[in-house]
Every structure is written in C-alpha cells, then in structure tokens.
Amino acid sequence: MRKIFYEGRFFFIPLGIAAFLTLFGFIIMQLWNALIPAIFHLTPITFWQAIGLFILCKILFGFGKGGRWGPGGAPWMMRKQMREKFKNMTPEQKEKFKQKMQERMCGFRYQGFDKEMMDFETGQEKGTAEA
C-alpha cells in the first residue's frame, strides 16, 4: 500500500488539493449566497468567485499555523510569558539561560537588547527608576 501511494503521489497530492479547493469553494459560495445577499443586499457569487475569495483571504490573513509569527504569537506578545518564566527560575537557572542565549547569539549583541531588556527580578525596564 505504501509503495502504491509513494509512486502515485504525483497523482494523489494534486487530486487532494483540487478536492480541498473544490470543497472550500463550495462551502464559501453557499455561505455567501445564504447570508450576504440577505444582510447587505449584495448579489450572490459564483463558484469561481468563491475560490478567488478563498485564495484572497489566505493571501491576506495567512495560511495557518499561527500566521507569520508562529504559534507563540508575535515577539511583543511573548514578553509577558518570558517575564513570568524568568521570575520563577532559580539564580542558577537564570545564569544557565543567559549563557545559552549568549551561545545562540554567537556573541552578537543587538543594540536595543539592553535598552529593551527587562530587569526580571524587579519587573522594571532597565534604565527606568522606580517612582
């Protein structure tokens, strides 16, 4: 069975993609034609317009797996999560983490890194004074 699928992958994969596009095109067309004309008084769309709408939405809004930034979200969304993880580390774990980051960065230091880096022990950004 595995050999048949392996040899037929050039037939089955495009066939699966075509079936997927056909199914989603039909679903989008039916939803549009059932809802949009009644709500916004627009005309119904054809199957090919539904396929075009689906492709346009995929281009504009992403192809899944969390979009551009991955499942964790954008870097500015991860700051709070990292702050919480860092607060719960022991001093030895913090030092090990810092060492690993230095190894990954190969000694490169981003100019804004120290400015934007949080002092995780106090919860303040470096360079700001507590009021």
Residue type, 71: P
Query: For the CA atoms of the chain, what is the radius of gyration?
Result: 25
Prediction pTM value: 0.47
Q: pLDDT category, 7, cuts 50, 70, 90?
A: confident
**pLDDT on residue 38:** 93
| Cα separation, 28 vs 88, whole angstroms | 47
Q: What is the pLDDT of residues 91-125, one digit of tens each?
A: 888 888 888 877 877 665 554 444 445 555 555 55
Helix axes 47-61, 9-40, angle to 10 degrees: 100
Q: What is the pLDDT of residues 31-68, one digit of tens each?
A: 999 999 999 999 999 999 999 999 998 888 877 655 55
Q: Domain ranges in the chain?
A: 2-62, 75-124
| More confident: 71 or 47 | 47
Q: What is the DSSP letter of 68?
A: G
Find out whether 69 and 80 touch, Cβ atoms under 8 Å.
no
Find out whether 58 and 76 touch, Cβ atoms under 8 Å.
no
**pLDDT on residue 109:** 59
